[in-house]
Structure 1
């Protein structure tokens, strides 16, 4: 047998063996088509389509750590230094519908206070569609009016309740005119101790089902804006009105806001107090509130693209004076370094307090 015949025979044998085991051959599966994340810029920067859906998602949040010296809200708190760290996660969704964008907002917060365990808080959770909002958000008495100044201790003089359950309708005419009407849960608020104790009993609160109400209107033309908002506390059966003017002069911006309490001898949800009540007269806690009225004012001065100076002053009919100033420094994008100093004077109880904060915050 020559070499050629041997090679041909071997090839035939191998072919026969391969044919006998053809059923056992491993066949590679076709790869699944790769679906890239699509950008969804119709609702602003940071949104993207959830793969396989028409829903847009935005993920953000912050990490903050700060040192605090004394307490601007209390003349009796002599804690020298307190270190506080916070993490916050924001989830926003949006889907286009025939009634406009269907949106949700969820904000979860974790706090670590020096010497304590981590606390978790559902800060916001709400649904909005066609101008309507339902769920947990800040009271429209604050959100619509625009809060106070751009400082950390902005509500040493109480400017209204914050997070609570609500059903709200916001109207925007598109020509500078805006309006809001809100029904708010009388038994839920992030700062209920600011107005509850001493004015109604726990049983009264638990058995009370009538909601509170907020309504407001606003108008903006050019660099000037005006808003007025009122809130009614259905448990105390009193309320408050705030009016605010904002102006942007280019080199600086400023605001002036005034509030009126329908009964200066009482605290209510919309004219309460954020001050430590241990310093208030036992027989007259209203001295820690507005009295009949309160006024706030502030300025913000951009020094350059990385540095801004803020000042806020506030005073009440009950003779509480609060002043806060800070510098907001952004050495790089989304990183904030903010030192702040506050002074509060309670003339009605002959007390005062200096306080300071140094904050570091990274937003994403």
Structure 2
């Protein structure tokens, strides 16, 4: 494996990444970058992780799925980020960035949300730390994710429902960026490993606690060999980088597999069919058709994004992670399978990774398969109708 020291000082992972934003935002992104990397040298990540432990029970457990393991002939384990406070991995990054925002004296937090998990985490801790909060959400997602939307509003956040364009996660990000340009005293708390430098790096760093805990579990149980698989879903890419990064950084030989949502059509995989371009402030792969963004039409609000974080593009190019895709029908099968056999309701996002674990079990036996269960599926119970 390569000596992994990415990104460079300008936020590039090879040709991917960087900062492609209006000139008026450079001052604030530079302020964020300077503050973050200064604090990082001062043991900021340890402070963040200690703060996280004040709110919920870290390390999140690695659960042995006995019933699925017996059925499929492999040892299935789930990293239970769904048990976190607010119901997903999003809380890890949220606390880190809010502490950073307070350090640079910001009074309002803005964020986008698709499935509502990021919006809920941001609304929760903005309220706790006494900060104003504004959440941008596409109209389609607001209808699908009514449970999380109600929670966000109850926590005092103002919610901007976007009815323009495709009224989805992509549009929510567009409008959050427009608001930020006009309100530069606000802090934009990006929820995934996307956007201009330093966001892809910051979000990865805050989420890497997932992989560290997973590594400690494997070390305790002597799981280190090529028989191991770690699988995680990929939208923007935060939960997957969170569990992958420790292994990549430390050159640990293990099978890492990222699973994209491709809706109804395998051609909707960003990492396998995307074209190089600029998306929401960074150079990355974008799913296009005739120079227009192509709809993924995923059943999953959290993965329904026509691009991906720049580090994932780099990891694919360097063959450090394998990337596959799963359809709506396949992910729904896994969603129901998990409920039936383990009595756990996973998010439909995580169900994409679960399906791929089920799929590879037809070809391999007696292996250890760890799947990052990034969120709970309370918001997705409508899919059972």
Same fold (TM over 0.5): no
Answer with 1 or 2: which has the greater Rg. 1
Q: TM-score, normalised by structure 2?
A: 0.25
Higher RCO (CA < 8 A, seq sep 6+): 2
* More strand, by proportion: 1
Higher helix residue share: 2
TM-score, structure 1 normalization: 0.26
